[in-house]
Amino acid sequence: MNFIAFSVRDDERPYFEKWAQVNNVKVDLHSEEISEDNLDTIKGYDAVIGLQTGTYPLGLFAKMQEYGVKDLSIRNVGVDNIDLAAASQKGVTVTNVPAYSPNAIAEFAVTQLMQMLRQTRTYRRKFAEQDYRWAPYISKELRSMTVGVVGTGRIGRVFIQIVQGFGAKVVAFDPYRNPELEAAGLYVDSLEELFAKADAISLHMPATDQDKHIIGQEALAQMKDGVYLVNTARGSLIDTKALIAALKSGKVAGAALDTYEAETPIFNHDLRNQALTDETFKELISLDNALVTPHIAFYTETAVKNMVEIALDSAKSVLETGQASTIVNA
């Protein structure tokens, strides 16, 4: 059994190597992403192990069929950058990692919300300027707020537990309701109702074509003045230009964004000494009330280990049994 893994970072290598040794499976590691230019490198392997935010190449599944590669196992949750119909048509099984560490992302979302409430970015700038005055940047306490949670899957539920621990009131929306949260009376009937009630809103939902720019000019207008917004889910959920306008006007008091709708050429790249060409991104990160991070909410030791091991276990299971609990194109 031979695997080829792409987009492998140095922090992942020990987990790949240990798994390969324990399971007696050959796993060749490559640092580059899967692209149209390197598709022929998959020849001779049984499974491809991938991880990338950009779209998987259109010709991938035809090549996998041609070379008899049976499985694409991705080391993350989201499959919005994969043509699942094409994979099925070519007889390729696709698996994901549905839960590598909900706590990692939920904890980060709360951390960023707290940073916004305490205006740490503004104070860091003032400190660098040797301005040590307090006023007028007085803070809010989380326990005095109503927090709206959009999406109550694994990550959303952990997020709810954490903010409730601070004493915050929670309202939630998800078309697929969790029975325990339903019994606790946390759900509202619509996004519009959540927008009207929440002092802060955190997104924990997948990206679909239907949900693109679900947070846009119209949704922002329905929110409370001075609302706080957190997005550790998918960049495409937010219309960035509309958000920038709301941040500038004060409609949105602060936005913590760990994703950006055009992040692929920016995040996880060393762009030091290079001019940024994305004018929207440049404007966004220039704002004191925008707290932007490069898609790092997941990035903990526990999460990385689980992402590698679950992806490899899934590929092995598909090849040995034709089944895995993580198949997404069944």
pLDDT digits (tens, 9 = 90+) for 220-275: 999 999 999 999 999 999 999 999 999 999 999 999 999 999 998 999 999 999 99
- Residue 57: pLDDT over 80: yes
pLDDT band per the 50, 70, 90 thresholds, residue 207: confident
The confidence score (pLDDT) of residue 137 equals 93
Check whether residue 128 and residue 94 sit in a common domain. no
- Residue 330: pLDDT over 80: no
Select from 59, 96, 99 the least CA-distant residue to 79: 96
Check whether residue 7 and residue 115 sit in a common domain. no
Q: How far is CA 299 from CA 50, 102, 103, 159, in A?
A: 17, 11, 11, 16
Check whether residue 240 and residue 178 sit in a common domain. yes
Instruction: Classify residue 60: in a domain, yes or no.
Output: yes
- Taking the model in full, what pTM does it have? 0.88
Check whether residue 158 and residue 209 sit in a common domain. yes
Instruction: Classify residue 62: in a domain, yes or no.
Output: yes
d(CA 230, CA 240): 13
pLDDT digits (tens, 9 = 90+) for 61-119: 999 999 999 999 999 988 989 999 999 999 999 999 998 999 999 999 999 999 999 99
Helices (H) and strands (E) in the chain, counts: 12, 11
Backbone angles phi, psi at 40, to 5 degrees: -70, -15
The residue ranges of DSSP E strands in 23-103, in sequence order, are: 26-29, 47-50, 71-74, 93-95
Check whether residue 154 and residue 281 sit in a common domain. yes
What is the total count of domains within the chain?
A: 2
Check whether residue 15 and residue 131 sit in a common domain. no
pLDDT digits (tens, 9 = 90+) for 131-176: 999 999 999 999 999 999 999 999 999 999 999 999 999 999 999 9
- The pair of structure tokens assigned to 282 is 């440049």
Check whether residue 216 and residue 127 sit in a common domain. yes
Kindly report the CATH number assigned to the domain that includes residue 24: 3.40.50.720
Instruction: Classify residue 26: in a domain, yes or no.
Output: yes
d(CA 41, CA 117): 49
Check whether residue 243 and residue 179 sit in a common domain. yes
d(CA 147, CA 159): 10
pLDDT digits (tens, 9 = 90+) for 271-329: 999 999 999 999 999 999 999 999 999 999 999 999 999 999 999 999 999 999 999 99
Instruction: Classify residue 231: in a domain, yes or no.
Output: yes
Peptide bond into 136 cis (omega under 30): yes
Instruction: Classify residue 329: in a domain, yes or no.
Output: no
Instruction: Classify residue 122: in a domain, yes or no.
Output: yes
* Chain position carrying tokens 């899957």: 153
Instruction: Classify residue 326: in a domain, yes or no.
Output: no
Check whether residue 142 and residue 256 sit in a common domain. yes
Check whether residue 192 and residue 222 sit in a common domain. yes
Check whether residue 136 and residue 196 sit in a common domain. yes
Instruction: Classify residue 263: in a domain, yes or no.
Output: yes
Check whether residue 155 and residue 124 sit in a common domain. yes
Catalytic residue numbers read 234, 263, 295
Range of the domain at 189: 102-292
